A = this chain, B = another copy of it.
Amino acid sequence: MTDRRSPKFKPTKAFKEFKDDCQQLLTERGQANSVAIAQAALKRYAKLSPQAKAGFFDYLATHMDPDPGDVLRLAEQYAVNRSPETLLNLTRAAEPPRQELLRRLNRTQGGAGQLVTMRADLLAHMKNDRRLSAVDADFEHLFNSWFNPGFLQMQKIDWGSSAQLLEQIIAHEAVHEIDGWSDLRRRLEPDRRCFAFFHPTLPNEPLIFVEIALLVEIPDAIAPLISRQTKIAEPNRARVAAFYSISNCQPGLRGVSLGNFLIKRVAQALKAEFPKLNSFCTLSPIPGFASWLSAAQKLASKQEARPVFSSTSTKTAALEALNELLQRENLDEPALQSLCAFYLLHSAENPGHELLVADPVARFHLNNGARLDRINPNADMSRKGLKQSHGFMVNYVYDLDLVEENHEKFVRGEVTASRTVRSMI
């Protein structure tokens, strides 16, 4: 196999030293001192130039793959003689050696955090080089093992948390921006909650956090939940826990399942604190709705006879009505709501269709086993809300007894939704 490394990068001294550390880590000699070598290597990595980092990822992709000949030979042996030994030999040979490298780099204290940063670098480079996807898969595989929910610690975040931590909450809130400390404070009052997952080796770095409003009813608009002016309510009167924002803090943990586990652990904790809670729902954005609709309208204007929407699970009359809506100049609220319901209900269906690039938020909650419960017009009247979803927001409901079943249906292509939502089409 030829070296596919980009011809532009001339290995620098720093790059070579780092690569030497990595190679030594994998030798016998390095074993006795691997913690110290890993520590030195990660220090060096942090100082590399972007080019040198790219060079390193390239090296991982081109020199740390399993050897095809070895694997094939051992696979044949295993097929002929199925024994613990032949299996072990095969398993070891089929695992890319870079996995062992990552495990050894992880031996130093704080190594996990530095590897998360390394992967964020990798993801940035991967945009331009799809050969790196196998390297990335190894990172993701190991991170799913190291950042599994059994190792993560859920912590309540409130006004008694450190400024250093709260600062990160402000910085990473990705759904409804936090405008400074007083804005944050309202979100941490007794009728609001915030929980985050932490890894034991990164005690001051939240991995993901969720914000909750304790309410009397399922909410139909975001403004009252996040406004500083909203009066603080007595949390013991709440019957509904509404998850109104969930944000990842670590780009390097992409693909590691955190949100699903956090939501469920938080629901349990809240239920234990407030036994009278009877509903766990979200108030969620529909980030893909407006662009989907506009694409559908464009398509409708181009097509002549053929209808834009098709679906095996929707009645013909309803489908016709929907297709007809795409011809109108101005869509009123009921029309938009119907289209939105269609958009969300078909999230799971027919992913090959050009219009069915499903809503990521819908996919997330439906895949977690939630039910699509209500579509709320005029729910997010912020500039961003109007732009991305014409002001609509959705409630997904988590019924912990049904999440397994709902998830299974979703994987099969069926969205669990309330009768009201179904009837909107």
Where the two chains meet, the residues of A that have a C-beta atom closer than 8 Å to any C-beta of B are: 1, 28-33, 35-36, 38, 65-66, 68-69, 71-72, 75-76, 78-79, 82, 84, 87-88, 90-91, 94-96, 103, 106-112, 130-131, 133-134, 137, 142, 144-146, 148-151, 153, 159-164, 166-167, 180-181, 185, 200-201, 204, 260-261, 264-265, 367-369, 403-408, 411
> Closest residue to A167 on the B side, CB-wise?
B159
The answer on a CB contact under 8 Å between B161 and A162 is yes
Residue in A82, A90, A260, A367 whose Cβ sees the most chain B Cβ within 10 Å: A90
* B residues in contact with A200, CB < 8 Å: 151, 153, 200-201
Pull 26 A–B residue pairs with CB atoms less than 8 Å apart, ordered by A. Answer: A29-B407, A30-B404, A32-B407, A32-B408, A33-B369, A33-B407, A35-B264, A35-B265, A65-B82, A66-B90, A66-B91, A68-B79, A71-B78, A72-B75, A84-B130, A88-B134, A103-B145, A103-B148, A108-B149, A142-B145, A146-B151, A151-B200, A153-B200, A160-B204, A161-B163, A200-B201
Q: Select which of B95, B112, B403 is within 8 A of A151 by beta carbon.
A: B112
Copies in the complex: 4
The answer on a CB contact under 8 Å between B131 and A406 is no
The answer on a CB contact under 8 Å between B404 and A148 is no
> Closest residue to A149 on the B side, CB-wise?
B107
The answer on a CB contact under 8 Å between B163 and A181 is yes
* B residues in contact with A84, CB < 8 Å: 130-131, 133-134, 137
